[in-house]
Structure 1
Amino acid sequence: MSHQPTLRQLRYLCAIGEHLHFGKAAQACHVSQSTLSTALQELESNLGVSLVERTHKSIIITRIGEEIIARGERILSDVEDLMAAADASRTPFSGEMRIGVIPTIAPYVLPDLLGELRDRYPDFKLFIREDLSEHLTRALETGELDLLLLALPYRAERVETEHLFYDEFLLACDPSHPLTERPSICTQDLAGSELLLLEDGHCLRDHALEACRLSLKDVSVPYHATSLNTIVQMVASRIGITLIPKMAVDKQILSGTNICVRRLNDTNVHRSIGLMWRHKSPRASEFRLFGDMVRKLNEPDAAGPASEQEGDLVRSGSGHPAAV
């Protein structure tokens, strides 16, 4: 007679299904590889079926393994929602919340947000995971995370989303670049340029191109970087130009450089920043309150952004108006 699987065994199996690598799965579950392997063997023995086929170079999920992983993900998600229902019965921000944030938002939004939460809700425990959208949405679907702060839209199943605010894309280049001589710049002026982008997997790359109505065939991409900070240094070294989120500029990512930042003379050159949570989560009202806080902290100043005050001229990394 088969014994019932434990939640721990299901969680380890789902991690193996996600990473297709025992070492990476064990690391994601914060256990040793031997602990994970033993739990898998126990699960296979209890169920009387083979879930994973091991080879020297890779692992293969069996057909029944894929079915059990799919069911296991739903079970884990339901268990997390059960816990969330209990949390939702308490006063908002009195328990804990596990949130995922993408790297092109986290450094520019979290510092002010964490300070506000600490001052207003000292007993609230917020656990943060910074990762790519693909990994975060998977963690949300399996119940590892409660809420995501990311750029929308992003494809995911059985989720709800809420737009919070728009983050404008600005053109960043060296002051000697020919584009800086133009009285105004539109997105089509970027065609044929050497445009520095983040590597594949960062949604900022796709959202920036989409906002500018460009595709990879319209531009030359000399390098793919792993972070915005790397791209900034490459632009400062005259390797190319880039599209940079205004929230990063506002938080002084260009500090210490002479990079020129220009506003693009087009409409809707921005990305949507928003929240994502599991469909019908009992904590939806608390998530919306969280979103209200993020929105309020990121509202434009009453005087308007510098780019509006100075036409399409923004500011250089030195803090002075960019010379164009």
Structure 2
Amino acid sequence: MTLKDLEYFAILAKLRHFGRAALEAGVSQPALSIQIKKLEAELGLCLFERSNKQVVLSPEGAHLLQRAENIIQQVSDFRTCAKSFKDPYQGHLILGAFPTLAPYLFPQILDELHQSYPEMKFFIKEEKTEQLLEMLKQGKVDAAFIALPHEDKLLESEFIFSEDFLFAVPANYPERFPSHLSVADLKGRELMLLDEGHCFRDQALEFCTVNQLQERFDFRASSLETLRQMVAAGLGLTLLPQCAKNESDKIRYIDFEDPAPQRSIALFWRKSSAKAEIFREIADDLKRVLTHA
């Protein structure tokens, strides 16, 4: 049995006429008839019920048709995938990012990526950093935006951008703060932070530990948006990355004096990836786009 046999079977099942099926298959009618008979003999089944006027799928043929069509589609997908390796600018790419970056970064960059790589389809995946790295190594994600520092012998990376942290306070907070904060000004304060598993929590917690700030243990947020809403409601203070800033009359965002606390983001991909050169190009494109954003 060959793939061509299954293709003939599927074409005849669709058209139910040997003459029209032979024309679509690009073979003579006798040749098509011989191949179908050989396939039936090999399977020990009658795939079609034949008469002078029509060709009808047998019950066994009807049952096997979907499987044949699935195999034909899988082979087609296999060929498409192989073609994408020969032309890396075709096919699809799955890009990942962690939750405190994905909803802010992807809306900024996807249009640029579609314009720069029109033959490529982009899909996005949002996961916490630990899961994202595992998916990247398993090939479930092609490339991912990860906060630095991160070292892995299986992965290659290119720095994309850095962004400052901001101090977020309710607009009606009774205490007045300067337009630029010294880190020392925050000593002893309590901040609301994200829940376990978020890399931004780890970064903020390190900042708190080094500068003698405290975490509020009565509340942990599941997202940056929750943190923002809690601040807007006047329920506490927090740190937010620059990308999460949303102009609001209920929140005041205060910059830090230099050197401001910040996070750095890089694009990571597998060293073995056939699209490694494209990821370097994408990294260069995104550095340009985000620098001028």
Task: Indicate whether the TM-score tops 0.5.
Answer: yes
Following TM superposition, by how much is the alpha carbon of 1:220 offset from its aligned partner in structure 2, in angstroms?
A: 3.0
Residue identity matched to 2:231: V
**1:297 matched residue in structure 2:** 289
Q: Which residue, 112, 117, 130 being the options, matches 2:113? A: 117
TM-score norm. by structure 1 comes to: 0.59
How far, CA to CA, are the matches of 1:265 and 1:84 in structure 2? 51
**Deviation of 1:273 (Å):** 1.1
The aligned amino acid for 2:116 is R
1:124-161 Cα deviation digits (max 9, x unpaired): 11121101001100111111111001222235452112
SS in structure 1 of the partner of residue 156 of structure 2: strand
Is residue 136–residue 270 contact of structure 2 (8 Å, CA) maintained in 1? yes
- Give the % identical residues: 35
Task: Give distance in 1, aligned partners of 2:152 and 2:226.
Answer: 29
For 1:90, the aligned partner's letter is D
Aligned partner of residue 215 in structure 2, secondary structure? coil
Answer whether contact 2:166 2:242 (CA < 8 A) is retained.
yes
Find the aligned partners of 1:136 and 1:84 in 2 and give their Cα distance.
23
Q: CA deviation at 1:258?
A: 1.9
Displacement of 1:208 in angstroms is 2.9
What are the ranges of 5 or more consecutive residues in structure 1 without an aligned counterpart? 1-82, 302-324
- Which residue of structure 2 lines up, in the alignment, with residue 258 of structure 1? 250
- Distance in 1 (CA, whole Å) between partners of 2:204 and 2:82 is 37
Amino acid at match of 1:168: D
Of residues 226, 231, 234, the one that matches 1:235 is 231
2:180, 2:85 → 1: CA distance? 51
Structure in which a larger fraction of residues adopt strand: 2
Shift of 1:261: 0.7
Q: CA deviation at 1:91?
A: 4.7
- Tell me the equivalent position of 1:214: 209
Instruction: Determine whether 1:277 maps to 2:269.
Output: yes
Q: Kindly state the Cα deviation for residue 179 of structure 1 after the two structures are TM-superposed.
A: 5.5
Alpha-carbon distance in 1 for matches of 2:175, 2:164: 19
Structure 2 unmatched ranges of 5 or more: 1-79
Output aligned runs, 1:182-221, within 5 Å.
182=178, 184-210=180-206, 212=207, 214=209, 218-221=213-216
Distance 1:213 1:183, change over 3 A: same
Q: State the shift of 1:280 in Å.
A: 3.7
Q: Please give the TM-score of this superposition, normalised by the length of structure 2.
A: 0.65
Indicate conservation of the 8 Å contact 2:193/2:215, yes or no: no
Alignment of 1:13-52 (within 5 A): none
Equivalent residue, structure 2, for 1:138: 134
> Aligned equivalents of 2:202 and 2:238: distance in 1?
13
Say whether the 8 Å CA contact 1:100–1:130 is kept in structure 2. yes
Cα pair 1:232 1:254 within 8 Å, conserved: no
Query: In 2, are the aligned partners of 1:197 and 1:224 still within 8 Å (CA)?
Result: yes
Instruction: Report the 3-state secondary structure (helix = DSSP H, G, I; strand = E; otherwise coil) of the residue aligned with 1:113.
Output: helix
Cα gap change, 1:85/1:265 in structure 2, threshold over 3 Å: closer, same or farther? Answer: farther
Q: What is the number of residues matched between the two proteins?
A: 213
For residues 242 and 148 of structure 1, the distance between their equivalents in structure 2, rounded to whole angstroms, comes to 27
Moved more, 131-140 or 154-163: 154-163
* Residues 98 and 146 in structure 2, CA contact (< 8 A), matched pair in contact too: yes
